[in-house]
A = this chain, B = another copy of it.
Amino acid sequence: MAAPSIDFFYEFASSYSYPAAMRAGEVAERAGVTLRWRPFLLGPIFADLGLTTSPFNTQPAKGRYMWRDLQRTMAAASLPFRMPDPFPQNSLLAARVATALPDDGKRAAFSRAVYRAAFGDGAQIADAEVLGRLLRDIGVEPAPLLVAAGSDAVKQALRAAVEAAKAAGIFGAPSFVTADGELFWGNDRLDQAVAWAARGA
């Protein structure tokens, strides 16, 4: 029987993807579940709904609540948190770089670094120099990766990830999809998703 696995769909502009990315690896490993890191973009999915920005921006009370809830969540996790400016950040380049990296630990390490930069340090993750520094920090030479990130193969792979997300019924991030197609949405559902995957395998 195959080892249980879970597809972790994350978007670098998504605030609740930050706490999820910081602990998903550990939670999955503890349960013996393989985590597939699947960067994708929410923009095309929101656009299908006629939305042009984050619901946290169009609904001020919801936006204010989100920041306060994240402050509490990140304080409980002892992780730094600050509001990115602008929010949401343009996440296209970061998603392409993550897609260009192999999912053998490097993609996870880069992804965690991007979240920490965006939501912990206030860095501009649309900036190729910022991403280059984060790559260097995890031991990856930036130049070839940034070239690969602009290739047709990577662009197509990222588009395929968005299509896979839509096909799985995804409408927000972070989302988790088990091998039997069960969808879980939100940082609050990470543990439940991993438990489902471990039980089903």
Contact = CB atoms under 8 A, between A and B. Distances in A.
Contacts of A185: 65, 69
Interface residues of A, number: 20
Interface stretch (A18-26, A155-163, A168-176): A168-176
A171 B62 contact: yes
Contacts of A184: 69
Interface in A51-101: 58-59, 61-62, 64-65, 68-69, 72
A interface: dominant SS? helix
A183 interface: yes
A49 interface: yes
Interface of A: 49, 58-59, 61-62, 64-65, 68-69, 72, 169-172, 183-185, 188-189, 192
